[in-house]
């Protein structure tokens, strides 16, 4: 159920908890245990967690939510700024919630310039843009699309879904990682367990793994914790509704 004008996020959560509880229950009852479930409807992370909790016999790792649209937007913003194509940019990260608290991180991203791979910070030499306008543009891009066309993203969302599914099916290219909302259990980045949080992942044999060992600076740490806090609050609200739904 989409968010309508005048609706609080809480109202949206309440309506969707019901929907995703029943979807999860249907999957539990009728789907193969090897099913891969991708949630796009917002609030996507918490809807995905709700569906997963309602299908306890399906492995949690089989549930993911779409943050690839944000990932693609981050790549595009960098590409536009540098006058290259989005394909020349890799390893951007979307951390956290598919909401305006998400953290688009390019500390580990690379761009191909004149045949050489260069770090994005080094290539752009514009830290204030990267730590300011770049982040807010990606965070608020969905709202900008709605404002411009009076409807939410369509083609770019469809493209992101096909990217997400293709990478699950065929795996990620060597040396490349992508962003995906997945269960946070066992991550090495200090994000609490049992949240559906967007991480950098690599995929092989239809199985995703966290990208490990990326250094996290203080600026990133704060942003990653902020979006985790929002997800923990959403989860709490959703689970209150879940027990009464």
List residues with catalytic annotation. Answer: 98
CA distance 75 to 159: 14
Give residue for tokens 């789907």: 31
CA distance 197 to 11: 21
> Tokens standing for 218?
């203080």
CB 67 within 8 Å of CB 180: yes
- Where would I find the H helices in 42-113? 44-53, 68-82
Helix (H, G, I), strand (E, B) or coil at 112: strand
Nearest to 133 by CA among 182, 77, 181: 77
What's the number of CA atoms in the CB half-sphere (13 Å) around residue 144? Answer: 8
Angle at 74 (CA atoms; ends 72, 80), nearest 5 degrees = 100
CB 103 within 8 Å of CB 217: no
């Amino acid at each position: 159920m989409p968010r309508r004008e005048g609706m609080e996020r809480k109202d949206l959560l309440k309506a969707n908890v019901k929907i995703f509880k029943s979807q999860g229950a249907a999957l539990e009852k009728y789907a193969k245990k090897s099913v891969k479930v991708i949630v796009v409807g917002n609030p996507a992370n918490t809807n995905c967690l709700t569906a997963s909790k309602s299908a306890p016999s399906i492995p949690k790792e089989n549930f993911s939510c779409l943050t690839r649209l944000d990932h693609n937007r981050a790549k595009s913003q960098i590409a536009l700024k540098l006058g290259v194509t989005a394909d020349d940019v890799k390893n951007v990260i979307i951390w956290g919630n598919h909401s305006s608290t998400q953290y688009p991180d390019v500390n580990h991203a690379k761009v191909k310039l004149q045949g050489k791979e260069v770090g994005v910070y080094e290539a752009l030499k514009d830290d204030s843009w990267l730590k300011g306008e770049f982040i807010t543009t990606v965070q608020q891009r969905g709202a900008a699309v709605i404002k411009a066309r009076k409807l939410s993203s369509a083609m770019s969302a469809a493209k992101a879904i096909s990217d997400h599914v293709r990478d699950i099916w065929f795996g990620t290219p060597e040396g490349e990682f992508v962003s995906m909302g997945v269960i946070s259990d066992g991550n090495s980045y200090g994000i609490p367990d049992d949240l559906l949080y967007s991480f950098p992942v690599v995929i092989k044999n239809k199985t995703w793994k966290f990208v490990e060992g990326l250094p996290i600076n203080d600026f990133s740490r704060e942003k990653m914790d902020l979006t985790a806090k929002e997800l923990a609050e959403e989860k709490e609200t959703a689970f209150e509704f879940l027990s009464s739904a």
